[in-house]
Amino acid sequence: MSWLLFFHRARRDAELSKDIQFYLDTETEDNIARGMPGDLARERAHRKFGNPTLIREEVYRMHGPPFFETLWQDGLYALRMMRRKPLFTAMIAATLALGIGANAAVFSMVQAVLLQPLPYKNPSRLVAIWDRNVRDSGVSKMFDSFEDFREVSQHASSFEEVAAATWAVGGRLLRGHGFTRGVLTMPVSRSFFPLLGIAPALGRTFVEPDSQRGCSAVLSDRVWRRQLAADPNIVGNSVTLDDELCAVVGVMPPSFAFYPEAVDLWILLTPNFSPPPNQLPLGIFARMRPGISIAQARAEVSTLHAAVHRNDGKERDLVPTVRNLQEEFTFLADASLKTTLWVLFGAVTFVLLIACLNIANLLLTQAVAREHELALRAALGCGRQRLLRQLLTEGLLLASIGGALGVAVAFAGIRYLRAAHPIEMPIGAHLEINWPVLAFTAAVSVVTALLFGLLPAWKASRVDSVESLKAYGRGSASGKPRRWMQTLIAGEMALSLVLLVGAGLLMKSVLNMVHEPLGFRPEGLAVTGVTLPPNHYPDAPSRLQFYDRLVTVLEARAAALTTGLPPYVNASSVMHISNQPVSPELERHDVGQRTVSSEYFEVLRVRLLRGRTFDLHDRPSSEPVAVINEAIAREYFAGEDPIGKRICIGDAGEKNPWRTIVGVTANEKSSTDYHQIGWAERGIVFKPLPQDPPPAVSVLVSAPGTGLQRRIANIDDRVAIGETQMMEERFERLLTYPRFRSVLLGAFAGFSVLLAAIGLYGVLAQLVAQRTQEIGVRMAMGATRADVLRFIVLQAGYPVLAGLAAGLLAATAAMRYIGTLLYGVRPTDPGTLGTVCIALIVVAGLATLLPALRATRVDPLEVLRNE
């Protein structure tokens, strides 16, 4: 600011020198016109106008002082005014700091997730190609076939590069440097890393010769440092992956990540890969050519898909879709993350707007108190524009202080978000205070100054100096701003109601989820994963032998084995029913399957509705059987008894035999696929573990105590054992994000209600101060304290009721946008709307109480004596 002031002072002096020369030349010409000689004319002119002070006074009188000099004077005066009222200044600065800081913190999340591009080459042109079932709602996503990938790679003209990746596989064993560790591997095509355009930190990525050899791997920085001790010579050497030598060709940098972020190494899909690539479902990723739109790419992919699947029926059931990769990563992090961020951003904007309305009310009150000062300045010749500039300068200075403190609040908020991790961030998103966030904060500070400063400044600059000076001394100020104060209070009440309704609906949704019967009992249960090395347990008998020993060792602890646990169900399989024709109505991809031990239903306390569960007689040599849940019975066997019916998951064959249904159990609640909050009841077919022993299971134990992993390792220390986790933690994690949303929105709503109450109190306190004489006269003429109390309550009631009415209309319209974040409650829930209205009326009543009681204590004799 000092160099800027120096520059404008220099500019002012230069302009002043021009004015001096102008007056000297004009006076000299006038003297010559009067008949004076030239030398005498110039001497007389210098004698009259040679003093710069005189010229400056003349210029200031005609044109006023320079703008920046008056701005500097206004700033100094504003600082003196703030120093006189430190509590008032601190309250406004703190309010602005919280409002602006919350906006900056939430904007940093929006910027990181939705606005910051992915850390890849040409990220705006990267897309993901999925299949979608035509019967689904439009948000489902399925992997494509290998034929789709080959067709798009060879014949699609919309893309520069095309790559593929399949499911990340967990539980594989990596050996190296004396350690054995379970790792998450992702098989990818050779073009995967070139598509993303990220160079490795060590070595290289996959090339064509790698396709002709055995296993090739690119390591993540995390597994290279933890598992392999950051060996700088690892490239070109081999590691052991499930007893298979795998050549390491490169190590990725620490910043590299793809979905899922926990992948430890990427292995190359080769023709001799097991299973063969043409049997794998694949995710297809591509970079569009410049000038190609997603709609054009989707149309071309649809044509290619139809050509590939014309004869296999998939053309009828599945349709391809092309989506922006950044949007997909946001969706995969949390299906409702985008909606959550915009809801939170809208909420903090409402909070800041309420803060501006509240500060505007306080400044209006301050303007009324300063009415005599402003009137006196106007009477001394200060113009309306000058008064307006002075008051706006005070508002801008307050907003600057609030913005500076708001940056500190934003830093603290982001630090909390990083530590608490209440929302899963997508790939490439990093919370930080960067230049876009600082620029946004500065812009918000300026806009905020205009929002809360313009109306009070405009009203104060219209002061009637004559009337104000006449009123001064009688103890009463003009009451003209009172209508504006009440209007602002109505606005605060309306916005607060919208926030409270949103917070109430989200909290009610979380409570509905918490208290919903799950169909099983997770309390006191612990789970860990066990993966058997394929070279040591290559077939079903060897795996079954290990599982029998495992159940025997853990029998005292009520243990069960399963390939899946609630609340997650992959319901994407097709179930066929024996002796029933195959039709689109029956061939639905909506069935989940689990392989479980006979103790599963008892340990989880799942209720048996009909028939029986598995027992010791369900062995590999016995008839294949299955247990279904109530959702399967209701959807596929409506009106008939499913016991004894024969079903098959997928195409019937040696690996998928027809199974006889022997029992029906109650439904287990599972998480929803495409909404982050809510429960679903998905159809599940349970298979007995002895008849289909898998290579990996989850071990479910009641009252695990300590030593669970040691007990499993005592059976065979070559198996991979996962971390032990309590079942309650799985459900707590599912509720973390909904709780965060509701708590944060509730905090914003509570802050807004506090601001509205303070604003209402300030208006009523000013009303009582302004109309003390009127109240005293009324009481002297017979008005009772009840009459005065009724008068003050009515003054508060009008803006409160108007604000509630406007808020109800706004809430009814706004809540439909958060429908995907709700569970078990309608956006227009009457109970929530009524509770919020009652709460705001109670808060308004408490804010009215003190000013109203103060008004009833007015002494009419004292008022008349002062009058």
Q: Report phi then psi at 841, rounded to 5.
A: -65, -40
Residue 194 domain-assigned (yes or no)? yes
Residues 303 and 431 in one domain: no
Is the confidence at residue 9, as pLDDT, over 50?
Answer: no
Residues 795 and 830 in one domain: yes
Spatial distance between the Cα atoms of 702 and 665, rounded to a whole number of angstroms: 21
Confidence grade of residue 565 (pLDDT, cut at 50, 70, 90): confident
Residue 79 domain-assigned (yes or no)? no
Residues 466 and 553 in one domain: no
Q: Report phi then psi at 769, rounded to 5.
A: -65, -40
Number of folded domains that form the chain: 4
Spatial distance between the Cα atoms of 527 and 724, rounded to a whole number of angstroms: 6
Return the SS3 of 399.
Answer: helix
Residues 700 and 801 in one domain: no
Is the confidence at residue 65, as pLDDT, over 70?
Answer: no
Note the pLDDT tens digit of each residue in 151-201.
Answer: 999 989 999 999 999 888 776 778 766 667 778 899 999 999 999 999 999
Note the pLDDT tens digit of each residue in 434-478.
Answer: 888 888 888 888 888 877 777 666 765 665 555 554 554 444 444
pLDDT for position 171 = 66
Q: Which of 292, 315, 333 corresponds to the end of one domain?
A: 333
Note the pLDDT tens digit of each residue in 512-562.
Answer: 888 888 888 888 888 888 888 777 888 889 999 999 888 888 876 688 999
Residues 673 and 817 in one domain: no
Residues 644 and 701 in one domain: yes
pLDDT for position 838 = 93
Q: How is residue 630 written in tokens? A: 């109530």
Beta-bridge mates of residue 241: 174, 244
Host domain of residue 17:
2-64
Note the pLDDT tens digit of each residue in 745-796.
Answer: 888 898 888 888 888 887 787 777 767 777 777 787 877 888 888 888 888 8
Residues 308 and 434 in one domain: no
If one counts every other C-beta atom within 10 angstroms of the C-beta of residue 652, the result is: 14
Residues 478 and 548 in one domain: no
**Higher pLDDT pick, 799 / 88:** 799
Nearest Cα residue to 630 out of 622, 620, 638, 621: 638
The answer to whether 437 and 108 are in contact (CB under 8 A) is: yes
Note the pLDDT tens digit of each residue in 232-246.
Answer: 899 989 888 877 889
Residues 678 and 744 in one domain: no
pLDDT for position 609 = 93
Residues 385 and 307 in one domain: no
Spatial distance between the Cα atoms of 233 and 246, rounded to a whole number of angstroms: 15
pLDDT for position 556 = 61
**How much is the mean pLDDT over the chain?**
81
pLDDT for position 673 = 59
Residues 284 and 355 in one domain: no
Range 590-601 average pLDDT: 90
pLDDT for position 2 = 40
Confidence grade of residue 314 (pLDDT, cut at 50, 70, 90): low
Note the pLDDT tens digit of each residue in 333-353.
Answer: 777 788 888 888 989 999 888
**Higher pLDDT pick, 676 / 525:** 525
Q: Which of 34, 64, 94 corresponds to the end of one domain?
A: 64
Confidence grade of residue 408 (pLDDT, cut at 50, 70, 90): very high
Confidence grade of residue 90 (pLDDT, cut at 50, 70, 90): confident
Is the confidence at residue 63, as pLDDT, over 70?
Answer: no
Which region among 221-225, 619-623, 650-654, 831-835 has the lowest average model confidence (pLDDT)? 650-654
Residue 103 domain-assigned (yes or no)? no
Residue 854 domain-assigned (yes or no)? yes
pLDDT for position 575 = 86
Q: What share of the chain is helix, strand, coil (3-state, %, to 5)?
A: 55, 15, 30
Angle at 323 between CA 347 and CA 273, to 5 degrees: 125
Q: Which of 660, 688, 718 corresponds to the end of one domain?
A: 718
pLDDT for position 317 = 67
Residues 156 and 301 in one domain: yes
Note the pLDDT tens digit of each residue in 472-513.
Answer: 444 444 444 467 778 888 888 999 999 999 999 999 998 888
Is the confidence at residue 8, as pLDDT, over 50?
Answer: no
Q: CA quadruple 303, 295, 338, 821: dihedral positive or negative? A: negative
pLDDT for position 704 = 60
Residue whose pair of structure tokens reads 């598995």 in the numeric block: 614
